[in-house]
Structure formats: structure tokens, C-alpha cells
Structure 1
Amino acid sequence: MPLDAAAYWLIGAMLLQGALALGLIWYLGFVRIPMIVRGEVRVREIALSRTAWPEREKQVSNAVDNQFQLPVLFHVACLLSLAFGSGPLEVVLALAFVLSRYVHAFIHVTSNHVIRRFWAYTAGLALLCGLWLVLVVRLVLVATGAK
């Protein structure tokens, strides 16, 4: 069955979010490998614990970890939206959420300014809650037979 434009935009938002996570994972490798090659960190010290990594690695590693928190709920919401038939509101909320995640990740791996990072995170959380609320309302409407 062919998808409508909203579904393509929603899938695009999911791909952009996935690209952010994959990009950060690659970036983490580019941060870690030189630290090991230069001898700043010994493999034995990081085999079972992250405590031996320098601050810069922890900064990027935490940014990666963040991509497996709210974004997991985002992907579930997008899949549910696709199953229900996505609309323009879901697309706007999804794209705005992804934008907030890019801003959050950028702050995390650059200045790591905690207050700015907090506001980017909070904006994403609010957008994600909005997306879930739209899905709940849609489910209630479908379940009650309302249009």
C-alpha cells in the first residue's frame, strides 16, 4: 500500500534521528581511538569500566548514551503514528523533536553548557510528550468510533 506524504516525512524524521545516533557513535570512535593510540588510556583500564576515560571521551560518550533514551520513545511513537495513519501535526512534532536532539547533541559535544543542554532536552521532552498525547487522543477517538 502506498504511503502518504505525512508518512514519508515521519519516516524521514526517524532516519534523521538514526543518522544522529550513528554519527555520534562514529565520532566517539574518532575520539577514543587516538586516545588509545597515544597511550592516554590503556585498553586494560577501560575493558570493564568507563572511569579511566578522560573527560572529553565521557562528554561524547554521554551524548551517545542520550540517543538511546528519549529517542527510543520517539521511534515507538513514530511507528504507532504510521500504524494509525500519520498527519501533519505528528510530522511537525517529530521534525521539531529531531531538531531539538541535534541541538542537544551539538551542545553536548561542544561547549557542554549544562543550562543550554537542559533547555534543549526539555524542549525535546515537551515535543515528545505532545506527540504521545496526539497518539493517545487518536487512539481514544478510534476506540470510541468518533471522527
Structure 2
Amino acid sequence: MTVQAVLAPVFVQVLLVFALMMVMGRRRFAEIGAGRVRIGDIALGERNWPPRVQAAANAFSNQFEIPVLFFALVPLALYTRKADLIFVVMAWIFVLSRLVHAGIFVTSNHVPARFRAYMAGVAVLGLMWLLFAWRILFTPLAA
């Protein structure tokens, strides 16, 4: 696979992180600007933000949990030349699951649907790691 094909889902995942940061920031500034939240109320923690703001903050924070394993795997797969079409398709499925998860988080926050999206991503990422490990352990590295 080309480097561009392998990195395209990574770029979308990174874009998601920045988009969620913007949503979180806009919601926070809106609450402060409207006077519904005082700076002193949130200066030492997140607990005093309204639920809509906290949902955006949680969605943003979640991008530094499971996706870290994705961000670690992609360069390893590139470096070892183990990223093929199957790997890229699974990477896109993982990123799509993250988009769905984040979308649910910042809109309806319907927990069962959010959990299904989360678990779909975890399952795909787990398969990506298993496939990568299998290829590293049982197939020779390209010269």
C-alpha cells in the first residue's frame, strides 16, 4: 500500500481530534459568555460544566485513550511494510467507529449506541494488532 493510503485514516483521526477541541471550546466559551458558568466554578476542575459541555470535553478526552494504540500501530506497520489493503480497510473502519462514537457523544449521547460504536472500534483495532503481530512473528520482514 502507498504511504498516502495508510496515513489517510490517521489524518482523519487527527482532524477529528481538532474538530472535537473546537466543539468543546465553542461550547465552553458560549456558556461563560452567557453567564451560565463562572470562571471560578471551573478553574480547578471539570465538574461544574453543564452536561452538553462536559460531553464534548469527554469526547475530546477519549481521543487520547484507545486511539493512542492506533497512532502507535500505524507507523510500526509502515516501517515494517506490513500495512496492506486489509490493514488500510480496518484502519478506516476504526476511524469511522471513532467518528460515530464522537458524533453520538456530542449530540444525543445515547450510551448504548455510543458503547456499540466504541466496542466496534476496539474490536477492529484489536484485530489490527493481532494481524500485525501475526505478520511480524510468522512472516519475514522485507529487506
Q: Percent identity?
A: 39
CA deviation after TM superposition for structure 1 residue 108, in Å = 0.7
SS of residue matched to 2:47: coil
Q: 1:125 aligned to 2:119? A: no
Indicate which of 129, 136, 146 corresponds to 2:133.
Answer: 136
In the alignment, which residue of structure 1 is the partner of 2:61?
65
Structure 1 residues 140 and 73: alpha-carbon distance in aligned structure 2, compared to 1, 3 A threshold: same
* Counterpart-to-counterpart distance in 2, 1:67 and 1:100: 12
Q: What's the TM-score, normalizing by structure 1?
A: 0.91
CA deviation after TM superposition for structure 1 residue 141, in Å = 2.0
Q: What's the TM-score, normalizing by structure 2?
A: 0.94
Q: Which amino acid aligns with 2:51?
A: E
* Counterpart-to-counterpart distance in 1, 2:18 and 2:51: 21
Indicate which of 32, 41, 44 corresponds to 2:37.
Answer: 41
* Counterpart-to-counterpart distance in 1, 2:46 and 2:30: 16
Runs (4+) off by over 2 Å:
none
Q: CA offsets per residue over residues 24-52 of structure 1, 9 Å max, x none?
A: 00111110001111111111111111111
Q: Which amino acid aligns with 1:71?
A: P
In the alignment, which residue of structure 2 is the partner of 1:87?
84
In the alignment, which residue of structure 2 is the partner of 1:101?
98
* Counterpart-to-counterpart distance in 1, 2:106 and 2:96: 16
Segments of 5+ residues of structure 1 without an aligned counterpart are none
For the aligned residues, what is the CA RMSD? 1.4
* Counterpart-to-counterpart distance in 1, 2:141 and 2:133: 13
Count of matched residue positions in the alignment of Structure 1 and Structure 2? 141
Structure 1 residues 40 and 83: alpha-carbon distance in aligned structure 2, compared to 1, 3 A threshold: same
Q: 1:28 aligned to 2:33? A: no
